[in-house]
Structure 1
Amino acid sequence: MKIVKRKKWALSAAVILTVIAMIGCSSETEPPVSGQPLNLSIFAPTYGGALPDTGGQIQMEVEMRSNTKLNITWVPVSDWEKRLNVAIAANNLPDLIVTKTIPGQLFSSTVAQAIENGQLMDLTEYVRADDFAAKYPNLGKYPKEIWDHSEFKGKIYSLPWGVTPRANLSGFIMRKDLFDKSGLKVPITVDELADTLIELSDPPKLYGLQFTGKTLDTSNLKPIAVAYTGVQDWGVDEQGNFMFQAFMPEYKGFLNWVKKLYDARVIEQEFSLGQNASNFSKGNSAMMIHVWWNAAQTSMNHWFAKEAPAEAEVMRIMPVQGPRAYAIAVQPGFNNPVVINTKFDKAKMPQLLKVYDYFASQEFQDFVQYGLEGVHHNVVDGKKVLIPDIPDDGRGQFSSMLNAVYRDFLEEARLAGLSDENYKQMKAVSTFAEETVAKQGPGIPQWNLSSPTFMSKWNAVIKDLDDNRDKVVMGKMSIEEWDKYVQGVTSSETYRQILKEFKEQYAKNRS
């Protein structure tokens, strides 16, 4: 699965204005570890905006709360992978490193090689210890599958970053105002959904479905592909044989579904350019497929952008059913792994884990969002209210530094004032999605496997995939031509070698 680039889906600052006061948070927090502050160097991504000043008020507050002295290397997300690879090659690594995954795999080939070279610490003895949850209660809240998905060759070399619910891409979020006027029935299958979107579409002013990104592998469509194939990216049968989703015969049903929408102008005609002309939040589409906790519209927060109609209103429908599965896409429970340099003093590992546990706390998340009283927010009628138009001092960058809190998005939405109807819809979707995935998948069996051929040659194997998918949808490639393309890839020596390595590693991990 292509990992969605991290965005601030956290209900938005305006939505959560009442939440923190209700949950409770003290600005006078005892450090997580007594004694001398822990000197800690960190390699972390930044997604833009002002960086906090070293020695400035914000960093000093974070250091006081975490009992640390921080030396942070902020790396623009555009240079993230390159800078990481250079640091590994030079064996010049800080203590904590936020690594960048490749699509569908826990570690890139460079990070995997760093593990083989002994550059990164094995954390298994700490994470699998019987008293781990007692010592580190915030990390102990993580579901078991998060730690299972952190395993690599039977050991754990990383801590989670960007923690979210597993069945995250299950939000079918529609414009209620448009749907109510249409008189249509709520769709329950992929075919009914396509027909509904065609009816609601009025291009170019209003598209039926939001399309972001530049490929058909976008997260906005991934759940539909799962509905047709029953797998996400890679599947595995009872004999341990792997299959790639886009090369399965059933995937052609997904391509035809998208083509139907394309022909009816329900999606942008130039979708491959990534212009995002169908932005749901701006009122340019009738529906978006997204994480289920997005678009938490409340009486205090309209949620939609100012460009959207004033009457725009949100509703949620249940994930629709396809020929092979419900339209639910998953992730391993986190976005990226955080690794630790083996040069770090092991005697200080309990203190480092205590610090990371603090960064996984709601208290730290609250500080990142609301900052200091009188500086970033005021308390009005017992509720924290952000001060408008204050200069950006880089407070939000610390969310990117170690984004580790396991948040209760449903409870946050309720406390923020989500209507009873929308709360019931959101809860029904999240519960159904998690229960469905637990029973029947899809899974991500390839996630923590080690295939040298996949890591080194996969991009070359699928170099024409995106273009050919687009051509089918746009009517520039027939299904017969698609079949020939797929046959050429799947019969190649490289592809067969990847399947062989996946099967062997999968069997080894299960033995």
Structure 2
Amino acid sequence: MKFNKARLSKNRLYLLVYTLLVLSLLITACSASTPTGTASATDIKIMVDYTIAQPPAPDNLVHKEFEKRTNTKLTITWVAGGDYSDRVNVALAAGDMADLIKIPNVTTPLFRQMVKQGAFWDLTPYIGDYPNLMAMDAKIWNNTKIDGKSYGVPAGRPMDGGGFVSIRKDWLEKLGLQMPTDMDELYVVLKAFKDNAPDGKKDTVGYNMRDSRVIEEIFTGTAGRWKEIDGKLVNMTLEPEMRDALVYLNKLYKEGLIPEDFPVMKENQYWELATSGRAGVTSETPEALFRYTMDQWKKDPEVDWTPMLSLAPKAGGKQYVTQSTGYNGILAIPKTVSEQKMKAVLKFIDYGSGGEGLNLTLYGIEDVHYTEEDGLKMATDKAVADSVGTGAWGKMFSTTVLDLWQYAAGMPKEIYQRNMEIAEEKSKFSTGDPAIGLVSETEIKLGSDYSKKIADMKVQTIIGKTTLAEWDQYVESLKTDANYSKITEEINEEYSKRKALE
């Protein structure tokens, strides 16, 4: 047999080229894989708030576990809750945004402006691919839409069983009092707390005034300032029920049943009143209430902070309890993020919003951060050290499970079960804000001045620096103020549009 040298050379050349091509593909595949052979981790930069003493550190065990389970590399900028809104506005204005940024509210003016400019992904066509996100109540999604589209994933929360009035039930029993069911009965209780000093110290104020808006809402019968009446939204700031609330609070103030310096108090001062035995009524979610008062309870097991079911403005009146907005901000993705990476970010959010991911979000790693006892997850000291729970990791995911606000690490089973029973009962008649997510262009421009003046007038009326007659005059001036009236018109226009889309 004779060999064709020219043909042999050409075949060797083809073989060499083929070999180099295969090697190139192998090298590329290896470079795109981790040492274990899985796809390379997705880098995700996140900006989110936290509401505990210290945020998770980069070497946090839950942080590392999230990276491991979701094949991501997370760079998280944690911002203290009190500073978060300002920091978000700075980031938006500078265009210096993380791949995933939590927007405090869908009504944030600068965010809405940037949405109209196309700066954020419209997630509407994509969210159907993520089962945990789709499991969220449709009402929550609707409350966070802009012009019928979703430009962020709601950081979902339970709609019921959240923040409301809580009371020292052990004080009620000690003084032979019943659980109050209306505001007149609550007044009697507050006065008894002050006059009879159940803790033996003559320094009790009764109600610490934390989130005093709940008093206004009990009188007006709605969460927030808008109430649907005959198909229209009415601004309850201008209605007699708001005046009734101010009369009530002024009475509490004059009789020393609320702190004299409440207008300038800070968050820790409200809680100091509650945990030091100087106040027998506060407002908070059952979960946070237990966390804040756990040391008090450990020192004195008789301490019994109990969430109240509801309150009516007067005897025989309609019982009221707050329904929450259903979300704690929205998780938005800037258009600077590629579509492929945007989907990876959604997958990350979806993981932390259900199943084992939600378990990791709320409780951490089993046998490290908690152990199971009688069906409850009992936290270890490591859970506190690693900032496990709703105050940190829970801020960047949807956590709509009903017991989110009913259980805290270290809570006895009987307290948890009681909280759940009360929450389930509240869900039967809770009242929400009908104007969630609605905006008025006039309010965006002028609303802050009105809000500041109204808030100031309320405080001045409560402490007696402004008379009720002066409050009435101010309300009348708002009713004839063209710009303020326009806010109501525009909110109702938006409300009608939303109703038409439902």
Q: Structure 2-normalised TM-score? A: 0.78
Map of 1:320 onto structure 2: 311
Map of 1:286 onto structure 2: 280
Alignment partners' CA distance in 1, 2:417 and 2:447: 43
Asked whether 1:478 is paired with 2:482, we answer no
Cα deviation for residue 99 of structure 1 reads 1.2
Conserved? CA contact 2:370–2:383, under 8 Å: no
Task: Determine helix, strand or coil for the equivalent of 1:305.
Answer: helix
Structure 1 residues 238, 338: closer, same or farther in 2, change over 3 A? same
Task: After superposition, give the CA deviation of every residue in 1:430-467 in whole Å (9 maximum; x if it has no partner).
Answer: 12321113xxx3x3232222311112211111322222
Map of 1:5 onto structure 2: none
Map of 1:28 onto structure 2: none
For residue 75 of structure 1, what is the amino acid of its counterpart?
Answer: V
Match of 2:352 among 351, 359, 372: 359
Map of 2:446 onto structure 1: 457
Conserved? CA contact 1:224–1:327, under 8 Å: no
Match of 1:207 among 205, 214, 234: 205
Cα deviation for residue 475 of structure 1 reads 2.3
Match of 1:503 among 471, 492, 498: 492
Asked whether 1:252 is paired with 2:217, we answer no
Alignment partners' CA distance in 1, 2:364 and 2:402: 20
**Alpha carbon RMSD of aligned pairs, Å?**
3.6
Cα deviation for residue 495 of structure 1 reads 0.3
Alignment partners' CA distance in 1, 2:171 and 2:384: 39
Asked whether 1:340 is paired with 2:333, we answer yes
Alignment partners' CA distance in 1, 2:499 and 2:93: 32
Map of 2:215 onto structure 1: 224
Asked whether 1:157 is paired with 2:148, we answer no
Match of 2:103 among 76, 90, 99: 99
Conserved? CA contact 2:364–2:388, under 8 Å: yes
Task: After superposition, give the CA deviation of every residue in 1:107-144 in whole Å (9 maximum; x if it has no partner).
Answer: 211001011110011111233x4xx5xx42x3344222
Conserved? CA contact 2:191–2:257, under 8 Å: yes
Map of 1:71 onto structure 2: 75
Alignment partners' CA distance in 2, 1:167 and 1:369: 17
Cα deviation for residue 335 of structure 1 reads 1.5
Alignment partners' CA distance in 2, 1:111 and 1:201: 46
Cα deviation for residue 352 of structure 1 reads 2.6
Cα deviation for residue 483 of structure 1 reads 0.3
Match of 1:87 among 84, 88, 91: 91
Cα deviation for residue 84 of structure 1 reads 2.3
Map of 1:7 onto structure 2: none
Q: Percent identity?
A: 24
Alignment partners' CA distance in 2, 1:411 and 1:94: 29
Structure 1 residues 476, 449: closer, same or farther in 2, change over 3 A? same
Structure 1 residues 140, 279: closer, same or farther in 2, change over 3 A? farther
Asked whether 1:331 is paired with 2:324, we answer yes
Structure 1 residues 307, 484: closer, same or farther in 2, change over 3 A? farther
Structure 1 residues 455, 285: closer, same or farther in 2, change over 3 A? same
For residue 231 of structure 1, what is the amino acid of its counterpart?
Answer: T
Conserved? CA contact 1:84–1:99, under 8 Å: yes
Asked whether 1:119 is paired with 2:130, we answer no
Cα deviation for residue 201 of structure 1 reads 1.9
Match of 1:494 among 480, 483, 491: 483
For residues 26-41 of structure 1, what are the structure 2 equivalents within 5 Å? 35-41=39-45
Cα deviation for residue 187 of structure 1 reads 2.0
Asked whether 1:44 is paired with 2:57, we answer no
For residue 498 of structure 2, what is the amino acid of its counterpart?
Answer: N
* Structure 2 residue runs without a partner (length 5+): 1-37
Task: Determine helix, strand or coil for the equivalent of 1:510.
Answer: helix
Deviates more, 1:490-499 or 1:382-391: 382-391
Cα deviation for residue 251 of structure 1 reads 0.9
Cα deviation for residue 356 of structure 1 reads 0.7
Alignment partners' CA distance in 2, 1:405 and 1:446: 22
Alignment partners' CA distance in 2, 1:391 and 1:312: 23
Map of 2:423 onto structure 1: 430
Conserved? CA contact 1:166–1:332, under 8 Å: no
Structure 1 residues 291, 488: closer, same or farther in 2, change over 3 A? same
Alignment partners' CA distance in 2, 1:374 and 1:419: 19
Structure 1 residues 283, 36: closer, same or farther in 2, change over 3 A? same
For residue 201 of structure 1, what is the amino acid of its counterpart?
Answer: K
Structure 1 residues 180, 484: closer, same or farther in 2, change over 3 A? same
Alignment partners' CA distance in 2, 1:49 and 1:278: 16
Task: Determine helix, strand or coil for the equivalent of 2:43.
Answer: strand
Structure 1 residues 77, 425: closer, same or farther in 2, change over 3 A? closer
Q: Structure 1-normalised TM-score? A: 0.77
* Structure 1 residue runs without a partner (length 5+): 1-33, 213-217
Alignment partners' CA distance in 2, 1:111 and 1:411: 29
Larger relative helix fraction: 2
Task: Determine helix, strand or coil for the equivalent of 1:266.
Answer: coil
Conserved? CA contact 1:121–1:341, under 8 Å: yes
Aligned residues: 452
Cα deviation for residue 385 of structure 1 reads 6.6
Deviates more, 1:77-86 or 1:52-61: 52-61
Structure 1 residues 430, 252: closer, same or farther in 2, change over 3 A? same
Structure 1 residues 494, 59: closer, same or farther in 2, change over 3 A? same
Cα deviation for residue 97 of structure 1 reads 0.7
Map of 2:233 onto structure 1: 242
Map of 1:404 onto structure 2: 398
Structure 1 residues 293, 94: closer, same or farther in 2, change over 3 A? closer
Alignment partners' CA distance in 1, 2:362 and 2:425: 30
Cα deviation for residue 333 of structure 1 reads 0.8
For residue 464 of structure 2, what is the amino acid of its counterpart?
Answer: G
Match of 1:467 among 429, 432, 456: 456
Map of 1:16 onto structure 2: none
Alignment partners' CA distance in 2, 1:175 and 1:149: 35
Alignment partners' CA distance in 2, 1:334 and 1:419: 27
Task: After superposition, give the CA deviation of every residue in 1:342-395 in whole Å (9 maximum; x if it has no partner).
Answer: 232223444332211112135345445665578767899999776648995666
Task: Determine helix, strand or coil for the equivalent of 2:494.
Answer: helix
- The structure with higher relative contact order (CA 8 Å, sep 6+) is 1
Task: Determine helix, strand or coil for the equivalent of 2:214.
Answer: helix
Deviates more, 1:371-380 or 1:75-84: 371-380
Alignment partners' CA distance in 1, 2:209 and 2:465: 20
Map of 1:11 onto structure 2: none
Alignment partners' CA distance in 2, 1:376 and 1:416: 12
Alignment partners' CA distance in 2, 1:359 and 1:447: 25
For residue 435 of structure 2, what is the amino acid of its counterpart?
Answer: Q
Task: Determine helix, strand or coil for the equivalent of 1:335.
Answer: strand
Cα deviation for residue 183 of structure 1 reads 1.5
Alignment partners' CA distance in 2, 1:423 and 1:384: 11
Alignment partners' CA distance in 1, 2:374 and 2:440: 57
